[in-house]
A and B are shown apart, each in its own frame.
Chain A
Amino acid sequence: MPNLGIEVLFRGTNLLRLLGGLWVAVRISLISTAISIFFGLMVGMLMVSKNKFLKLIFRLHLEIVRIMPQMVLLFIAYFGTTRVFGWNLPAEVSAVIVFSFWGIAEIGDLVRGALISIPVIQRESALALGMTQYQVYLYIILPQTIRRLVPLTINFITRLIKTTSLVMMIGIVEVLKVSQQIIEANRRTSPNAAFGVFAAVFLLYFLICWPISSLAGYLEKRWFQP
């Protein structure tokens, strides 16, 4: 059997370091996700309002986020702001800002889509039953919006987690960076370390993303085909 370079993982604190790197990625994702959901909900609701100016701003925001590679946004937030404004944003803060900027736009758009997908007639038939506007929102619009939203949001979160691997480009030592370091350090003794270490990284990402996306699948099934 060829040497798969797995033994490297068990040398010293290597495995712990990998897990530490993973935690950095997860931490960035978690904070960005929380911010994105909170503000995304607001943006989504504002996007269905009648205010043309706000709509234009959010539309523009979404286009920018979709067109620009996340890496470019990271560079702007980290290096760009230092050059231009003299700010010295910590790398992790820059990462959270960029991912939140992205997440707010994406989740805002999901919220907007979910809100407008609820037929007007649903609202009207509830009003005709003598419900207040507030009750209609609480009992009719919100539950249906959230049902549509949860699976989509979860999918977005897995995308976000995968994209955090980019943050090593601005010097954050997350799981991918740690694996590179481990491979470098052990190049002499275990030339095949790349395989084992990256396989471990694959497994780690899988262990995080798989439960999340199967939760999305489960909710989708449970909620849409009762």
Chain B
Amino acid sequence: METTSIEIQHLYKTYSSQNSQVKALRDVSLSIPEHEIFGVIGLSGAGKSTLVRCMNLLERPDSGKVILGGQDLLALNKKQLRLCRQKIGMIFQHFNLLEQLNVLANVCFPLEIRGIPARRRKEKAMDLLQKVGLADKAKAYPSQLSGGQKQRVAIARVLANDPGILLCDEATSALDPETTKTILDLLKTIHNTMGITIVIITHEMAVVRDICTKVAVLDDGAVQECGNVAEVFHAPKSKAARRLLLMGDKEE
């Protein structure tokens, strides 16, 4: 990947089960420039996770294009895709650490997979743990950490691959507002020092307001509105955005 921009073109995805069809994405197009912190907001079931999972092809769209850094992901073979995914970090709501490994080993894990020698990976992992403020917990196990700390480990782990893009699917939704704030601050610091492109998926206005520069409002599988955060929040044009704003105000 030369650059770290994200280009989504006319994405469609339908899930069909025995007696029903869900159109999770309906003609979604987005253009996310390099070094942006881009928010995707929408109510539950809007298709946010589906969209972000299409960005690293954990989910294959029915049609449309996913172009990361000028690279058409759907044109890659398995191996190329795998190497590409190493450069697209992803963090989740439930952290997904390996419970049987301690914090340090969790961060070392992706490096081990890539065949980095033991000493180098330990150095790098400790450096990353320092960055996320958890150097003193290197020997702890995930079950001994708080939610916020677990997410920090997950962030350190994902940074081990030196990603150019970081996808966050509801990364703070399992955390209280206080902890959410500290994780968002950490993401901002990472963004400022490493200049990676960050995509934030969330259903919380506050998160978008705090960290994103641009936002897309997703509803019923389609982008209803897209623009600068300040504009969208001050003068929402779509019904979906207004509804989200109302709900956000109620929460605060």
Contacts and interface: CB of A to CB of B under 8 A. Distances in A.
A135 interface: yes
B155 interface: no
B198 to A, nearest CB: 15
B212 to A, nearest CB: 21
B96 A130 contact: no
Given A121-B96, A140-B98, A129 B143 contact: no
A129 B161 contact: yes
B158 interface: yes
A171 to B, nearest CB: 47
Given A135-B113, A225-B143, A130 B92 contact: no
Interface in A87-138: 119, 121-122, 124-125, 127-132, 135
Contacts of A144: 100
Interface in A131-185: 131-132, 135, 139-140, 143-144, 147
Nearest to B99: A226
Contacts of B56: 128
Contacts of A143: 100
B141 interface: yes
A223 interface: yes
Among A125, A139, A147, A223, chain B packs the most CB atoms within 10 A around the CB of A125
B195 interface: no
Given A139-B113, A140-B98, A226-B100, A128 B90 contact: yes
B122 interface: no
Interface string B56-97: 101000000000000000000010001111101110101010
Nearest to B79: A132
Secondary structure of the A contact surface, majority rule: helix
A140 B92 CA distance: 17
B90 A125 contact: yes
Q: How large is the interface on B (under 10, 10 to 19, 20 to 34, 35 or more residues)?
A: 20 to 34
Contacts of B167: 128
Given A128-B90, A129-B161, A226-B143, A122 B82 contact: no
B110 interface: yes
Contact of A125 (B96, B100, B141, B143): B96
Interface string B130-147: 000000000001011000
Contacts of B110: 129-130
A226 B141 contact: yes
A130 B143 contact: no
B58 A129 contact: no
Among A119, A131, A140, A225, chain B packs the most CB atoms within 10 A around the CB of A131
Contacts of A226: 99-100, 141, 143-144
A140 to B, nearest CB: 7
**Nearest 10 interchain pairs by C-beta:** A130-B86, A125-B96, A128-B90, A130-B85, A226-B141, A129-B110, A130-B82, A124-B58, A131-B113, A128-B56
